[in-house]
Structure 1
Amino acid sequence: MGYHSINTQIMFDANCLIRDIVPRWPGAVHDARILRQSGLHQIMEQNIVHDQHQYLLGDSGYLCKRWLLTPFMNPADEHQLIYNRAHKRTRSVVERSIGILKRRWAILHNEIRLHPLKSCKVILSCAVLHNICNMRNLPMDSLDIDALPDHPENYHGNEDGLRYRNVVANTFF
């Protein structure tokens, strides 16, 4: 054993922007419990009270609610089958977005070798940066790390920190 895991609740919109993220629960905590304890749950419950109709999609691990739509486990008719297909297509945005997030920030794809509280901050930071990249339409593959030289082009070996930073910025960015 000897490792910790973090269970992160994340909500994306149709444009792959993160609208809510809660990176703080131990890995053994069930997704439904995380949702029940979240501010998102409170907001959605209040929307129902005030007759505001907004919907989230969740997988079958969640309880179906007026605002949280889950797939039918055993569709009984054509309407339920069509609903399940649409649900699956729409939820694929989440899976695709998580994949983009992990590819963009490789630290999320493997083990984060930090204290759990720092790991939560890393996850949150990556989410913020993910949204910035998406809002600015920055492509993920614009920088090929393997093609970078060991040192900037104008490196002479005797630069102080500030001048070296400028050389790095001008060379790589």
Structure 2
Amino acid sequence: MFINCIAKWPGSFHDSGILRESSLFSAFEDKDRRPLKGIILGDSGYMLREWLFTPLVNPVTCKERSYNFYHSSACTAVEQAIGVLKRRWHCLRRLRLEPAKACKVITVCIMLHNYDRKLKLEDPTDSDSDSECDSSSQNTHFDVEEVKHAKNPVSERARFAAGKAARCQLINYF
């Protein structure tokens, strides 16, 4: 099931930029407004936060390698869900419509997909699946460009540090 869909950006727009512009991002950035307890996993293209964990660049310890393995496994689950969506609705593979209409088609396909899931319909089988998540990429870094363009670079650095500490705590605890 898909629980969040933002279908107003062109395909060339980076996922982390879409997240940053979303109400979900604003809610999670404010500790008092977080919509759920827990964390969100993102690939290495996302910024590290207390609530948004990315893979480690160079895992050294057994615990760090284990963290990256389970992080990658979760990413694979998301990739598979997107693959099922695209197999069920072939039009999503190469959508060639004007932007406003494309947004509506994507949203409706996701709604129908969720309805199919509620009805427990069988997933379509097809050997083709488009990859949406690069789980092999481990390019996590502190994005200097992001800090330069941030409204408050000091706050951006502090949020990165807090995210790094939270991720380390999770790795060491589990």
The TM-score range, normalised by the shorter chain, is 0.5 to 0.7
1:95 and 2:79 correspond? yes
Instruction: Verify the 8 A CA contact 2:87 2:124 in the aligned structure 1.
Output: no
Residue 109 of structure 2 is aligned with which of 126, 149, 172?
A: 126
Q: CA deviation at 1:92?
A: 1.2
Cα 1:141–1:57 shift into 2, 3 Å: closer
Q: Secondary structure at the match of 1:79?
A: helix
Measured in 2, the distance between the counterparts of 1:115 and 1:50 equals 35
Query: Unmatched 5+ residue regions in structure 2?
Result: 126-174
Offset from partner CA, 1:46-77 (integer Å, 9 cap, x none): 3x346863211100000111000110011121
Q: How many residues align?
A: 124
Instruction: Verify the 8 A CA contact 2:43 2:55 in the aligned structure 1.
Output: yes
Cα 1:86–1:114 shift into 2, 3 Å: same
Measured in 1, the distance between the counterparts of 2:96 and 2:33 equals 44
Equivalent position of 1:64 in the other structure: 48
Q: Secondary structure at the match of 1:62?
A: coil
Q: Which structure has more strand as a fraction of its residues?
A: 1
Measured in 2, the distance between the counterparts of 1:50 and 1:65 equals 15
Equivalent position of 1:8 in the other structure: none
Report the structure number with the largest CA radius of gyration: 1
Measured in 2, the distance between the counterparts of 1:42 and 1:19 equals 17
- Structure 1 segments of 4+ aligned residues over 4 angstroms from their partners: none
Query: Unmatched 5+ residue regions in structure 1?
Result: 1-16, 143-173
Equivalent position of 1:45 in the other structure: 29
Q: CA deviation at 1:141?
A: 4.4
Residue 118 of structure 2 is aligned with which of 103, 128, 135?
A: 135
Equivalent position of 2:10 in the other structure: 26
**What amino acid sits opposite 1:103 in the alignment?**
R
Offset from partner CA, 1:6-59 (integer Å, 9 cap, x none): xxxxxxxxxxx101010111223221111110011122223x346863211100
Measured in 1, the distance between the counterparts of 2:10 and 2:80 equals 24
Q: Equivalent pairs: percent with the same residue?
A: 40
**What amino acid sits opposite 1:18 in the alignment?**
F
Measured in 1, the distance between the counterparts of 2:80 and 2:55 equals 18
Measured in 1, the distance between the counterparts of 2:46 and 2:124 equals 35
Q: Secondary structure at the match of 1:63?
A: coil
Offset from partner CA, 1:70-97 (integer Å, 9 cap, x none): 1001112111100001111112110000
**What amino acid sits opposite 2:8 in the alignment?**
R
Measured in 1, the distance between the counterparts of 2:4 and 2:60 equals 33
Instruction: Verify the 8 A CA contact 1:44 1:54 in the aligned structure 2.
Output: no
Q: Which TM-score applies when normalising by structure 2?
A: 0.66
Measured in 2, the distance between the counterparts of 1:63 and 1:104 equals 31
1:117 and 2:117 correspond? no
